[in-house]
Amino acid sequence: MNNKIDFYNEENYCPWNFWEAVVAVFLTIPLILILTIPIAYFLERNMGEVIFSPSEISNFGFAIAYFIQAIVLLILLWLFVFYRNRATWYDLGIKPLSFLKGIFLTLFGIIAIFFIDIVYTIFLRFIPWDISKDKIRLLIENKNISLPMLFIVAVIIAPICEELFFRGFLFPAFKKKMATFSAMFLSSILFAVFHLEPTQLIPLIGIGFILAFVYEKAKSLIPSILLLLYLQNELFFQIVVQNIQH
């Protein structure tokens, strides 16, 4: 079976190359850390508290820290997509698709991720991991951070930037050097590692793979963006309701 992708086909066209994606990956975390240093100093916190302990930072500190992550992804997209290759938003995956196809793929993604959640819940019965300290949960429990600010930054801005970077930018570039399945898996691993949540690594890889699969079938980022926005919104409101009840 021939897995070679025809990149002269409009649906698969990707102006940037594999090595540009690799360089962007290796620049992501260092740039975030470098930009976080002055913020941590200004907030009189160490970098570990700003990045790994969101329950300890202020509303302003949270906004700045998460905006830095989003800005780094957008800067790398601008550099490698728009500046170096003169590509467009269409090339990045922001393109129309049929309404029915979009709805079908989004619903498929929701069901698939729900299945992953069930499997992971069963898995946790045998592995004593504490998942009560995931970032969204800690952020909501942080009384210093306003819920509207959290909703805008962590539930809206962050997912859109992540989809543009991991599915719109990295995944098509990886397909230039490897089979589609391998490109999905690699982009999913990087997506999971980027979140810096060890106990959530397995489900995040699964979610990343589903998002890449949905993008591959849709040839548009719109369904995968809607899917990730739905997941973040569902988690946000679920934890908020739990906190109100307690």
Residue, of 244 and 100, whose pLDDT is higher: 100
Task: Identify which of 18-27, 49-58, 198-207, 235-244 has the greatest average pLDDT.
Answer: 18-27
In a domain, 10, yes or no: no
Exposure b/e, 176-197, CB count within 10 A at least 16 = b: beeebeebbbbbbebbbbbbeb
In a domain, 154, yes or no: yes
Global pTM value: 0.84
**182 CB contacts (<8 Å, ≥6 apart)?**
174
Task: Write out the DSSP string of 80-140.
Answer: IIIISS---TTTTT-----HHHHHHHHHHHHHHHHHHHHHHHHHHTTS----TT-HHHHHH
- Which residue has 């500046």 as its token pair? 83
Residue 186 is predicted with a pLDDT of: 97
Span 179-206, pLDDT tens digits: 999 999 999 999 999 887 777 888 999 9
- Helix (H) / strand (E) element for 212: namely helix 201-218
Q: Give the CB-side neighbour count of residue 28, counting CA atoms within 13 A.
A: 24
Tell me if residue 207 falls in helix, strand or coil: helix
Residue 208 CB neighbour total at 10 angstroms: 27
In a domain, 6, yes or no: no
Span 73-98, pLDDT tens digits: 999 999 999 999 999 999 999 999 99
Task: Tell me the residue range of the domain where 84 lies.
Answer: 15-245
| Alpha-carbon gap, residue 33 to 46, rounded angstroms | 11
Averaged pLDDT for residues 55-71:
70
| Closest residue by Cα to residue 77 from 65, 88, 68 | 88
Task: Please report, as a single letter, which amino acid is at residue 92.
Answer: L
Q: What is the mean pLDDT of the chain?
A: 81
Q: What is the CA radius of gyration of the chain?
A: 18
Span 209-218, pLDDT tens digits: 999 999 999 9
Q: Count how many domains the chain has.
A: 1
In a domain, 202, yes or no: yes
| Alpha-carbon gap, residue 95 to 147, rounded angstroms | 32
pLDDT band at 39 (very low <50, low <70, confident <90, very high): low
Whole-Å CA distances, 2 to 73, 179, 180 = 33, 9, 11
pLDDT band at 135 (very low <50, low <70, confident <90, very high): low
